[in-house]
Amino acid sequence: MNLDQYLPVLLFIIVGMAVGIGPLVLGYVLGPNRPDDAKNSPYECGFEAFDDARGKFDVRYYLVAILFILFDLEIAFLLPWAVALQDVGLAGFIAVLIFLAVLVVGFVYEWKKGALDWE
């Protein structure tokens, strides 16, 4: 077994590690680190910054994220169907109507439960 055959694989791994880790190290070494009140102020999270990273979050953040993923996946399934609408015919159209009906039922359920209220 000739180890010279593995040299390209070793070089690929080394270059990949350098490309992945190199910018992180350069940013850490060369980047400024001057925290102030503006950088530590609330940003998109809705509450003051605090020391403990394991503090309790409001469950609404997770619920909104899950609902976003749900409806984002709906679009991911609808786009290929829209492109192939001529090929799938009436059966494909009816299947998508059933799919949308199930999603609308879930959306109405979430709406009635108050999951979309942000107060």
Q: Which residues have a Cβ under 8 Å from the Cβ of 106 and sit 6 or more positions away?
A: 70
Q: How far apart are the first and last CA of the chain?
A: 68
The pTM of this model reads 0.47
57-119 adopts what CATH topology?
Methane Monooxygenase Hydroxylase; Chain G, domain 1 (1.20.58)
The model's pLDDT over 77-105, given as tens digits with 9 standing for 90+, comes to: 888 888 888 888 899 899 989 988 988 88
Share of the chain above pLDDT 90, in %: 24
Domain boundaries, the chain: 57-119
